Amino acid sequence: MHNASGQATPSSGPSTSKRASGPPARAVIKLGTGVLTRGIGEFDAERIAAICEQVARLRASGTQVLLVSSGSIALGMGRLGLKRRPSDVVKKQACAAIGQGLLMQMWQSHFAAHGITVAQVLLTHEDLRNRTRHLAAKATLESLIAYGVVPVINENDTVSAAEIEALLRFGDNDTLSAMVASLVHAQHLFILSTAPGLIDLDGTGEIVPFVPKITPQIEAMARGTASETAVGGMVSKLSAAKLALRAGCSVFIASGAEPDIIARLLRGEGPGTFFAPHGLPLDAKKRWLLHFQRPTGTIHINACAVPVLREQGRSLLAVGVTHASGRFEAGDIVDVAAPDGTLIAHGKTGYSSADISALAGLKGAAVKALHPKRRRHEVIHRNDLALL
Protein backbone atom coordinates (compact mmCIF):
# COMPACT_ATOMS: atom_id res chain seq x y z
CA MET A 1 0.00 0.00 0.00
CA HIS A 2 1.27 3.50 -0.74
CA ASN A 3 0.40 7.01 0.35
CA ALA A 4 0.10 10.00 -1.93
CA SER A 5 3.85 10.56 -2.00
CA GLY A 6 4.52 7.04 -3.22
CA GLN A 7 6.04 5.90 0.07
CA ALA A 8 5.50 2.28 1.00
CA THR A 9 3.21 1.84 3.98
CA PRO A 10 2.44 -1.09 6.27
CA SER A 11 -0.45 -3.31 5.28
CA SER A 12 -1.79 -6.72 6.05
CA GLY A 13 0.60 -8.07 3.43
CA PRO A 14 1.29 -7.77 -0.28
CA SER A 15 -0.41 -10.00 -2.77
CA THR A 16 1.56 -13.04 -3.85
CA SER A 17 1.91 -11.48 -7.30
CA LYS A 18 4.12 -8.79 -5.77
CA ARG A 19 6.56 -11.49 -4.69
CA ALA A 20 8.29 -14.31 -6.51
CA SER A 21 5.88 -16.78 -8.13
CA GLY A 22 8.12 -19.78 -7.51
CA PRO A 23 11.56 -20.89 -6.43
CA PRO A 24 14.38 -18.84 -7.99
CA ALA A 25 17.07 -20.42 -10.14
CA ARG A 26 19.75 -19.03 -7.84
CA ALA A 27 19.58 -17.44 -4.40
CA VAL A 28 22.04 -15.92 -1.95
CA ILE A 29 21.18 -16.26 1.74
CA LYS A 30 22.96 -14.01 4.21
CA LEU A 31 22.84 -15.11 7.85
CA GLY A 32 23.65 -12.71 10.65
CA THR A 33 25.59 -13.50 13.79
CA GLY A 34 22.50 -13.19 15.98
CA VAL A 35 20.73 -15.92 14.01
CA LEU A 36 23.56 -18.43 14.34
CA THR A 37 24.68 -17.93 17.94
CA ARG A 38 23.30 -17.71 21.46
CA GLY A 39 25.01 -14.73 23.03
CA ILE A 40 28.75 -14.59 22.38
CA GLY A 41 30.55 -17.59 20.98
CA GLU A 42 27.90 -20.32 21.35
CA PHE A 43 26.18 -21.96 18.38
CA ASP A 44 22.40 -22.14 18.29
CA ALA A 45 22.38 -25.75 17.06
CA GLU A 46 18.60 -26.05 16.81
CA ARG A 47 18.26 -22.95 14.66
CA ILE A 48 21.21 -23.87 12.46
CA ALA A 49 19.72 -27.31 11.85
CA ALA A 50 16.43 -25.68 10.85
CA ILE A 51 18.21 -23.33 8.43
CA CYS A 52 20.09 -26.25 6.84
CA GLU A 53 16.81 -28.12 6.38
CA GLN A 54 15.30 -25.06 4.67
CA VAL A 55 18.30 -24.75 2.36
CA ALA A 56 18.11 -28.47 1.53
CA ARG A 57 14.44 -28.16 0.58
CA LEU A 58 15.12 -25.06 -1.49
CA ARG A 59 17.86 -26.92 -3.36
CA ALA A 60 15.55 -29.89 -3.88
CA SER A 61 13.10 -27.53 -5.60
CA GLY A 62 15.78 -26.66 -8.15
CA THR A 63 17.38 -23.56 -6.63
CA GLN A 64 21.15 -23.17 -6.46
CA VAL A 65 22.09 -21.68 -3.07
CA LEU A 66 25.05 -19.67 -1.84
CA LEU A 67 25.43 -18.73 1.82
CA VAL A 68 27.08 -15.60 3.17
CA SER A 69 27.69 -16.41 6.80
CA SER A 70 28.61 -14.06 9.62
CA GLY A 71 29.67 -15.38 13.01
CA SER A 72 33.41 -15.99 12.83
CA ILE A 73 34.41 -13.00 14.97
CA ALA A 74 31.73 -13.75 17.56
CA LEU A 75 32.81 -17.39 17.77
CA GLY A 76 36.42 -16.35 18.19
CA MET A 77 35.39 -13.92 20.92
CA GLY A 78 33.74 -16.80 22.74
CA ARG A 79 36.86 -18.96 22.59
CA LEU A 80 38.97 -16.07 23.90
CA GLY A 81 36.51 -15.20 26.64
CA LEU A 82 35.84 -11.70 25.30
CA LYS A 83 32.54 -10.05 26.22
CA ARG A 84 32.78 -7.04 23.89
CA ARG A 85 33.66 -6.84 20.24
CA PRO A 86 37.28 -5.59 20.04
CA SER A 87 37.79 -2.13 18.63
CA ASP A 88 41.35 -2.95 17.56
CA VAL A 89 41.55 -4.35 14.02
CA VAL A 90 44.29 -6.87 14.82
CA LYS A 91 42.21 -8.31 17.68
CA LYS A 92 39.22 -8.62 15.35
CA GLN A 93 41.44 -10.48 12.93
CA ALA A 94 42.59 -12.84 15.67
CA CYS A 95 38.98 -13.56 16.61
CA ALA A 96 38.11 -14.18 12.96
CA ALA A 97 41.06 -16.54 12.51
CA ILE A 98 39.89 -18.63 15.47
CA GLY A 99 36.21 -18.49 14.62
CA GLN A 100 36.38 -19.18 10.89
CA GLY A 101 37.34 -22.83 11.33
CA LEU A 102 34.66 -23.31 13.96
CA LEU A 103 32.10 -21.77 11.64
CA MET A 104 32.94 -24.11 8.77
CA GLN A 105 32.92 -27.16 11.05
CA MET A 106 29.46 -26.17 12.18
CA TRP A 107 28.08 -25.75 8.65
CA GLN A 108 29.55 -29.01 7.34
CA SER A 109 28.34 -31.06 10.31
CA HIS A 110 24.76 -29.81 9.97
CA PHE A 111 24.61 -30.03 6.16
CA ALA A 112 26.05 -33.56 6.23
CA ALA A 113 22.67 -34.79 7.48
CA HIS A 114 21.26 -33.76 4.08
CA GLY A 115 24.15 -35.16 2.03
CA ILE A 116 25.35 -31.65 1.18
CA THR A 117 29.00 -30.63 0.93
CA VAL A 118 30.02 -27.07 1.75
CA ALA A 119 33.06 -25.06 0.64
CA GLN A 120 34.70 -22.14 2.39
CA VAL A 121 35.18 -19.06 0.21
CA LEU A 122 36.92 -16.07 1.81
CA LEU A 123 36.82 -12.80 -0.12
CA THR A 124 38.22 -9.31 0.27
CA HIS A 125 37.02 -6.23 -1.55
CA GLU A 126 40.18 -6.39 -3.66
CA ASP A 127 39.10 -9.81 -4.95
CA LEU A 128 35.99 -8.18 -6.39
CA ARG A 129 37.52 -4.82 -7.33
CA ASN A 130 40.31 -6.21 -9.50
CA ARG A 131 38.72 -7.33 -12.77
CA THR A 132 40.91 -10.43 -13.18
CA ARG A 133 40.35 -11.58 -9.59
CA HIS A 134 36.67 -10.67 -9.88
CA LEU A 135 36.29 -13.06 -12.81
CA ALA A 136 38.34 -15.71 -11.03
CA ALA A 137 36.11 -15.50 -7.94
CA LYS A 138 33.03 -15.81 -10.13
CA ALA A 139 34.50 -18.83 -11.94
CA THR A 140 35.30 -20.54 -8.63
CA LEU A 141 31.77 -20.01 -7.32
CA GLU A 142 30.26 -21.23 -10.58
CA SER A 143 32.43 -24.35 -10.44
CA LEU A 144 31.39 -25.12 -6.86
CA ILE A 145 27.72 -24.67 -7.75
CA ALA A 146 28.13 -26.96 -10.75
CA TYR A 147 29.47 -29.66 -8.41
CA GLY A 148 26.37 -29.31 -6.24
CA VAL A 149 28.35 -27.74 -3.39
CA VAL A 150 27.02 -24.94 -1.17
CA PRO A 151 29.62 -22.15 -1.03
CA VAL A 152 29.85 -20.57 2.44
CA ILE A 153 31.23 -17.09 1.87
CA ASN A 154 32.70 -14.69 4.38
CA GLU A 155 34.89 -11.61 4.41
CA ASN A 156 38.55 -12.57 4.74
CA ASP A 157 38.90 -10.65 7.99
CA THR A 158 42.14 -12.36 9.02
CA VAL A 159 44.42 -10.76 6.43
CA SER A 160 43.15 -7.36 5.34
CA ALA A 161 43.16 -4.56 7.88
CA ALA A 162 41.90 -1.93 5.46
CA GLU A 163 39.15 -4.19 4.16
CA ILE A 164 37.75 -5.16 7.56
CA GLU A 165 37.40 -1.52 8.54
CA ALA A 166 35.79 -0.64 5.21
CA LEU A 167 33.34 -3.52 5.54
CA LEU A 168 32.41 -2.56 9.08
CA ARG A 169 31.53 0.91 7.90
CA PHE A 170 29.13 -0.56 5.35
CA GLY A 171 27.58 -3.20 7.55
CA ASP A 172 29.39 -6.47 8.11
CA ASN A 173 28.36 -9.10 5.56
CA ASP A 174 25.20 -7.35 4.33
CA THR A 175 27.13 -5.51 1.63
CA LEU A 176 29.20 -8.58 0.83
CA SER A 177 26.02 -10.62 0.29
CA ALA A 178 24.70 -8.04 -2.17
CA MET A 179 28.01 -8.01 -4.03
CA VAL A 180 27.92 -11.81 -4.25
CA ALA A 181 24.32 -11.74 -5.48
CA SER A 182 25.36 -9.33 -8.22
CA LEU A 183 28.47 -11.36 -9.03
CA VAL A 184 26.57 -14.62 -9.59
CA HIS A 185 23.40 -13.08 -11.08
CA ALA A 186 21.14 -14.35 -8.30
CA GLN A 187 17.40 -13.78 -8.60
CA HIS A 188 16.86 -13.41 -4.84
CA LEU A 189 18.88 -12.23 -1.87
CA PHE A 190 17.61 -13.22 1.58
CA ILE A 191 19.10 -11.11 4.39
CA LEU A 192 18.22 -13.06 7.53
CA SER A 193 19.11 -11.64 10.93
CA THR A 194 17.35 -10.86 14.20
CA ALA A 195 15.48 -8.02 12.47
CA PRO A 196 11.95 -9.07 11.43
CA GLY A 197 12.01 -6.67 8.49
CA LEU A 198 11.93 -2.93 7.91
CA ILE A 199 9.81 -1.43 10.68
CA ASP A 200 8.06 1.93 10.47
CA LEU A 201 9.39 2.94 13.90
CA ASP A 202 8.17 6.53 13.74
CA GLY A 203 4.77 5.65 12.30
CA THR A 204 2.69 2.54 12.79
CA GLY A 205 5.45 0.50 14.44
CA GLU A 206 4.65 -2.35 12.03
CA ILE A 207 6.73 -4.17 9.44
CA VAL A 208 6.60 -2.62 5.96
CA PRO A 209 5.88 -5.73 3.86
CA PHE A 210 6.56 -4.35 0.38
CA VAL A 211 8.93 -1.64 -0.83
CA PRO A 212 8.70 -0.86 -4.56
CA LYS A 213 11.47 1.75 -4.33
CA ILE A 214 13.94 2.81 -1.63
CA THR A 215 13.08 6.48 -1.13
CA PRO A 216 14.47 8.95 1.43
CA GLN A 217 11.35 8.25 3.52
CA ILE A 218 12.16 4.54 3.53
CA GLU A 219 15.79 5.21 4.43
CA ALA A 220 14.66 7.38 7.33
CA MET A 221 13.08 4.28 8.91
CA ALA A 222 16.44 2.56 9.28
CA ARG A 223 18.39 2.29 12.50
CA GLY A 224 21.80 0.90 13.44
CA THR A 225 22.51 -1.87 15.94
CA ALA A 226 23.49 -2.00 19.60
CA SER A 227 24.60 -5.64 19.47
CA GLU A 228 28.01 -6.54 20.89
CA THR A 229 28.63 -9.07 18.10
CA ALA A 230 27.03 -7.43 15.06
CA VAL A 231 27.46 -4.21 13.13
CA GLY A 232 25.41 -2.23 10.67
CA GLY A 233 21.78 -2.80 11.55
CA MET A 234 19.00 -1.80 9.16
CA VAL A 235 21.07 1.02 7.66
CA SER A 236 23.51 -1.47 6.16
CA LYS A 237 20.69 -3.78 5.05
CA LEU A 238 19.05 -1.00 3.04
CA SER A 239 22.40 -0.09 1.53
CA ALA A 240 22.90 -3.72 0.53
CA ALA A 241 19.36 -3.91 -0.83
CA LYS A 242 19.98 -0.93 -3.09
CA LEU A 243 23.09 -2.57 -4.49
CA ALA A 244 21.34 -5.88 -5.16
CA LEU A 245 18.25 -4.23 -6.64
CA ARG A 246 20.43 -2.32 -9.06
CA ALA A 247 21.65 -5.69 -10.36
CA GLY A 248 18.05 -6.89 -10.86
CA CYS A 249 18.01 -9.08 -7.73
CA SER A 250 14.94 -9.14 -5.45
CA VAL A 251 15.68 -8.71 -1.75
CA PHE A 252 13.98 -10.09 1.36
CA ILE A 253 14.81 -8.83 4.85
CA ALA A 254 13.41 -11.04 7.58
CA SER A 255 14.13 -12.81 10.85
CA GLY A 256 16.15 -15.99 10.58
CA ALA A 257 14.50 -17.18 13.80
CA GLU A 258 11.10 -17.51 12.09
CA PRO A 259 10.16 -21.14 11.30
CA ASP A 260 10.43 -22.10 7.63
CA ILE A 261 10.99 -18.43 6.78
CA ILE A 262 12.51 -18.91 3.32
CA ALA A 263 9.60 -20.91 1.89
CA ARG A 264 7.08 -18.58 3.54
CA LEU A 265 8.75 -15.53 2.02
CA LEU A 266 8.69 -17.12 -1.43
CA ARG A 267 4.96 -17.82 -1.01
CA GLY A 268 4.36 -14.20 -0.01
CA GLU A 269 3.24 -15.29 3.48
CA GLY A 270 6.22 -14.84 5.78
CA PRO A 271 6.74 -11.82 7.99
CA GLY A 272 9.41 -9.62 6.48
CA THR A 273 10.03 -6.95 3.88
CA PHE A 274 10.23 -7.59 0.15
CA PHE A 275 12.12 -5.13 -2.09
CA ALA A 276 11.24 -5.31 -5.76
CA PRO A 277 13.99 -4.77 -8.35
CA HIS A 278 13.52 -1.80 -10.62
CA GLY A 279 14.53 -1.29 -14.22
CA LEU A 280 16.68 -3.63 -16.23
CA PRO A 281 19.78 -5.22 -14.71
CA LEU A 282 23.09 -3.68 -15.66
CA ASP A 283 25.29 -5.79 -17.84
CA ALA A 284 28.12 -7.59 -16.04
CA LYS A 285 30.88 -5.10 -16.87
CA LYS A 286 28.86 -2.10 -15.73
CA ARG A 287 27.89 -3.88 -12.51
CA TRP A 288 31.58 -4.37 -11.88
CA LEU A 289 32.30 -0.71 -12.58
CA LEU A 290 29.44 0.51 -10.43
CA HIS A 291 29.48 -1.73 -7.38
CA PHE A 292 32.88 -3.36 -7.03
CA GLN A 293 35.17 -0.41 -7.63
CA ARG A 294 36.66 2.20 -5.33
CA PRO A 295 37.22 5.34 -7.42
CA THR A 296 40.68 6.90 -7.13
CA GLY A 297 39.67 10.41 -8.18
CA THR A 298 36.98 12.54 -9.79
CA ILE A 299 36.44 14.00 -13.24
CA HIS A 300 34.26 17.12 -13.08
CA ILE A 301 32.06 17.94 -16.06
CA ASN A 302 30.12 20.98 -17.26
CA ALA A 303 26.34 21.35 -17.35
CA CYS A 304 26.13 20.55 -21.07
CA ALA A 305 27.81 17.16 -20.57
CA VAL A 306 25.33 15.97 -17.94
CA PRO A 307 22.39 15.23 -20.31
CA VAL A 308 24.84 13.87 -22.89
CA LEU A 309 25.77 11.13 -20.43
CA ARG A 310 22.46 10.68 -18.61
CA GLU A 311 19.95 10.99 -21.43
CA GLN A 312 21.87 10.28 -24.62
CA GLY A 313 24.11 7.51 -23.31
CA ARG A 314 27.18 8.90 -25.08
CA SER A 315 30.87 8.90 -24.17
CA LEU A 316 32.47 11.63 -22.09
CA LEU A 317 34.65 13.85 -24.29
CA ALA A 318 37.25 16.38 -23.23
CA VAL A 319 35.03 19.28 -24.31
CA GLY A 320 32.62 18.37 -21.51
CA VAL A 321 35.30 18.22 -18.80
CA THR A 322 36.16 21.15 -16.54
CA HIS A 323 38.87 19.67 -14.32
CA ALA A 324 40.02 16.65 -12.33
CA SER A 325 40.51 16.18 -8.59
CA GLY A 326 42.65 13.51 -6.97
CA ARG A 327 45.51 11.68 -8.63
CA PHE A 328 44.83 8.79 -11.00
CA GLU A 329 46.29 7.08 -14.04
CA ALA A 330 44.76 6.04 -17.36
CA GLY A 331 42.73 2.88 -16.79
CA ASP A 332 41.78 3.77 -13.20
CA ILE A 333 38.16 3.90 -12.05
CA VAL A 334 36.97 7.44 -11.27
CA ASP A 335 33.84 9.28 -10.19
CA VAL A 336 32.15 11.64 -12.63
CA ALA A 337 30.65 14.72 -10.96
CA ALA A 338 28.16 17.31 -12.22
CA PRO A 339 28.87 21.04 -11.72
CA ASP A 340 27.02 21.04 -8.37
CA GLY A 341 29.19 18.17 -7.09
CA THR A 342 26.56 15.44 -7.54
CA LEU A 343 28.15 12.14 -8.50
CA ILE A 344 26.44 10.85 -11.62
CA ALA A 345 28.65 7.96 -12.78
CA HIS A 346 31.68 5.75 -12.31
CA GLY A 347 33.91 5.03 -15.24
CA LYS A 348 37.30 3.83 -16.45
CA THR A 349 39.24 6.88 -17.53
CA GLY A 350 41.28 6.91 -20.71
CA TYR A 351 43.58 9.61 -19.36
CA SER A 352 45.51 10.37 -16.19
CA SER A 353 44.60 13.29 -13.94
CA ALA A 354 47.66 15.16 -15.29
CA ASP A 355 46.51 14.62 -18.88
CA ILE A 356 43.00 15.81 -18.09
CA SER A 357 44.31 19.12 -16.73
CA ALA A 358 45.68 19.82 -20.21
CA LEU A 359 42.68 18.39 -22.11
CA ALA A 360 39.76 19.90 -20.18
CA GLY A 361 37.43 21.85 -22.46
CA LEU A 362 39.24 21.04 -25.70
CA LYS A 363 37.42 19.95 -28.84
CA GLY A 364 38.24 16.80 -30.78
CA ALA A 365 40.85 18.18 -33.16
CA ALA A 366 42.84 19.78 -30.34
CA VAL A 367 42.76 16.56 -28.32
CA LYS A 368 44.00 14.55 -31.30
CA ALA A 369 46.81 17.05 -31.86
CA LEU A 370 48.02 16.52 -28.30
CA HIS A 371 47.76 12.71 -28.54
CA PRO A 372 48.25 11.89 -32.25
CA LYS A 373 49.20 8.24 -31.69
CA ARG A 374 46.05 7.31 -29.78
CA ARG A 375 43.31 5.42 -31.60
CA ARG A 376 40.57 6.56 -29.19
CA HIS A 377 40.28 9.99 -27.65
CA GLU A 378 37.25 9.72 -25.36
CA VAL A 379 37.95 10.66 -21.75
CA ILE A 380 35.58 7.83 -20.76
CA HIS A 381 34.06 5.62 -23.44
CA ARG A 382 30.36 4.90 -23.00
CA ASN A 383 31.10 1.16 -22.70
CA ASP A 384 33.28 1.96 -19.68
CA LEU A 385 30.75 4.26 -18.01
CA ALA A 386 28.11 3.22 -15.44
CA LEU A 387 25.52 5.79 -14.41
CA LEU A 388 24.62 6.01 -10.74
Binding residues: 30, 70, 157, 173
CA distance 109 to 113: 7
Neighbour count for residue 176 (Cβ, 10 Å) = 24
Closest Cα partner for 30 from 276, 225, 140, 194?
Answer: 194
CA distance 86 to 25: 39
Gyration radius (Cα) of the chain, Å? 22
Please enumerate, by residue number, every residue annotated as part of a binding site for substrate: 70, 157, 173
Straight-line distance from the first to the last Cα atom of the chain, in angstroms, rounded to the nearest whole number? 28
Beta-bridge partner residues of 255? 193
The residue type found at 118 is: V
Please enumerate, by residue number, every residue annotated as part of a binding site for ATP: 30
